[in-house]
Amino acid sequence: MADVRYTKDHEYVRLEGDVAVVGITDYAQSQLGDVVFVDLPAVGKKVAKGGEAAVVESVKAASEVYAPVSGEIVAVNDALSDAPATVNEDAAGAGWFVKIRMADKGELGALMDQAAYDAYVAGLG
């Protein structure tokens, strides 16, 4: 099973070597509702942990997606441009946003594992 970590803002990080695949969780997409646009950064951009990595827009509002780890954007999910609803249909898989080459894998230690995130979401009622 892939190693997946979570933030309190409902971003996930799926590890592929030293590259972090970042998206929003299924809980987050269910709260947002129908996704109609995703504003992705340029490949090569440096992002700091907690900084804006992307913007996801539902019919109702725009929400920021924060970088769970620091590093360089090495890929963005261009398929979301024509099919933003992929975020609703498969948030944890095909609906990923960006891939970040991590500057400091130690930052992962501050993120929640699956059990901790499940408990966190359950606590939100």
Partner 1 sequence: MAETAASLQHTPLHALHLRLGAKMAEFAGYDMPIQYPTGILQEHLHTRAAAGLFDVSHMGQATLVGLDAAAKLERLVPGDLAALAEGRIRYTQFLDANGGILDDLMVTRVSGAAGGVETLFLVVNAGCKTQDFALLAQALPDLKLTILADRALIALQGPAAAEALAKVLPGLTTQPFMSMRDATWRGQTLHVSRSGYTGEDGYEISVPDGLAEAFAEALLALPEVKPVGLGARDSLRLEGGLCLYGHDIDRTTTPVEAGLIWSISRRRRQEGGFPGDERVRLQIAHGPSRKRVGIKPEGKAPAREGTDIHTVGGELIGKITSGGYGPSVGGPVAMGYVEADHAAPDTPVTLMVRGKPLPARVVALPFVPARFYRGS
Stretch that binds partner 1, among 19-27, 54-62, 100-108, 116-124 (CB under 8 A): 54-62
Confirm or reject binding of residue 79 to partner 1 (CB under 8 A).
no
Residues 34-53 that bind partner 1 (CB under 8 A): 34, 36-37, 39
Among 2, 61, 115, 122, binds partner 1 (CB under 8 A): 61
Shortest gap between Cβ of 62 and partner 1 (angstroms)? Answer: 6
Stretch that binds partner 1, among 11-19, 29-37, 97-105, 108-116 (CB under 8 A): 29-37
- The residues pairing with 73 across neighbouring beta strands, listed in sequence order, are 100
- Which spans of this chain sit near partner 1 (rule: CB under 8 A)? 33-34, 36-37, 39, 55, 57-62, 81
